[in-house]
A and B are shown apart, each in its own frame.
Chain A
Amino acid sequence: EKDEPATSKESTTQMTAKSQEDAAEKPKQKLLDIIGNMKVEVSYRKKLQQLKTREIKKQAPDELDSEGAVPQRTAEGIQRSRGKPLNPELVEAASAVASSLPLDKKQTESELLAQLRRHEETTDKQKKGGTVNLRNMIAEMAVKRQTPAQRGVRISNRISLELDEDGQQIKLERVNTRRSLKVGRRLNIFTKASTETEMALKTVSPPTIWDLEFAKELAAVTAQPPRNGFEEMIQWTKEGIMWEFPIDNEAGMEEDAEFHEHIFLEKHLEDFPKQGPIRHFMELVICGLSKNPYLTVRQKIEHIEWFQKYFEEKKEFLQGI
Chain B
Amino acid sequence: PCTRQVRGYYVDWRMLRDVKRRKLAYEYADQRLRINAIRKNTILPKELQEVADKEITELPRDSCPVRIRNRCVLTSRPRGVKRRWRLSRIVFRHFADHAQMSGVQRSMW
Contact residues of A with B, CB < 8 Å? 277-278, 280-281, 284-285, 302-303, 306-307, 310, 314, 317-318, 321
Contacts and interface: CB of A to CB of B under 8 A. Distances in A.
Interface in B38-53: 38, 41, 43-45, 47-48, 51
A314 B37 contact: no
A284 B34 contact: no
Given A277-B44, A285-B37, 11 more contacts: A277-B43, A278-B44, A280-B43, A281-B44, A303-B30, A307-B34, A310-B34, A310-B38, A318-B45, A318-B48, A321-B48
A285 B40 CA distance: 13
A59 to B, nearest CB: 79
Contacts of A317: 47-48, 51
Interface string B19-60: 000000000001100100110010111011001000000000
Contacts of A310: 34, 38
8 contacts: A277-B44, A278-B44, A280-B43, A281-B44, A285-B37, A302-B30, A310-B38, A321-B48
A307 B48 CA distance: 13
A280 B41 CA distance: 11
A44 B32 CA distance: 85
Contacts of A306: 30-31, 34
A234 B34 CA distance: 44
A61 B31 CA distance: 99
A299 to B, nearest CB: 8
Contacts of B45: 277, 318, 321
B28 to A, nearest CB: 13
A233 B30 CA distance: 39
A307 to B, nearest CB: 7
Can you list the 5 inter-chain pairs with the closest CB atoms, starting with the nearest? A277-B43, A281-B43, A280-B43, A277-B44, A321-B47
Nearest to B31: A306
Contacts of B48: 314, 317-318, 321
A162 to B, nearest CB: 48
Contact of A303 (B34, B38, B43, B47): B34
B33 to A, nearest CB: 8
